[in-house]
Amino acid sequence: MPKEVPACPVEMTLQLIGNKWKVLIIRDLLEGTKRFNELMHSVTGITQKVLTSNLRSMEETGLLTRKVYPEVPPRVEYTLTETGYSLKPILDSMVMWGTEYKKNFV
């Protein structure tokens, strides 16, 4: 959880998912557990360093869990937590809004 919690709920939400990469990671994890390389390929344009940083941040804030399997090479899987899944209605609303916007303005 962030050290300083904003008083405004909208600001709190933006602090947790307020960048393009986190929203796209959540979008992909809503489909189910994914491995690191699967996320690298599905989140177009993200670098390994940025993906790693965002995944760590999301794990720290309780949006996802990380499971490491003791294999060579190591296998790591990421899964949304219940809190992470609770963001689904927000992403669904973004899909509806984006679809309407594209229909009317693009």
62: domain CATH number is 1.10.10.10
Does 3 fall in a domain?
no
What global pTM score does this model have?
0.90
Residue 69 pairs in a beta bridge with 75
To which H or E segment does residue 80 belong? Answer: strand 75-80
pLDDT tens track for 52-65:
999 999 999 999 99
Note if the bond before 73 is cis, omega within 30 degrees.
Answer: yes
Residue 79 pairs in a beta bridge with 65
C-alpha 33/C-alpha 17 separation (Å) is: 19
Interior CA angle at 82 toward 37 and 39, to 5°?
Answer: 10
Residue 77 pairs in a beta bridge with 35, 67
Does 2 fall in a domain?
no
Does 34 fall in a domain?
yes
The residues, ordered by sequence, that sit 6+ positions from 92 with a Cβ below 8 Å of its Cβ are none
Does 13 fall in a domain?
yes
Domain range holding 69?
Answer: 9-105
pLDDT tens track for 84-94:
999 999 999 99
Model confidence at 106, pLDDT cuts 50, 70, 90, reads confident
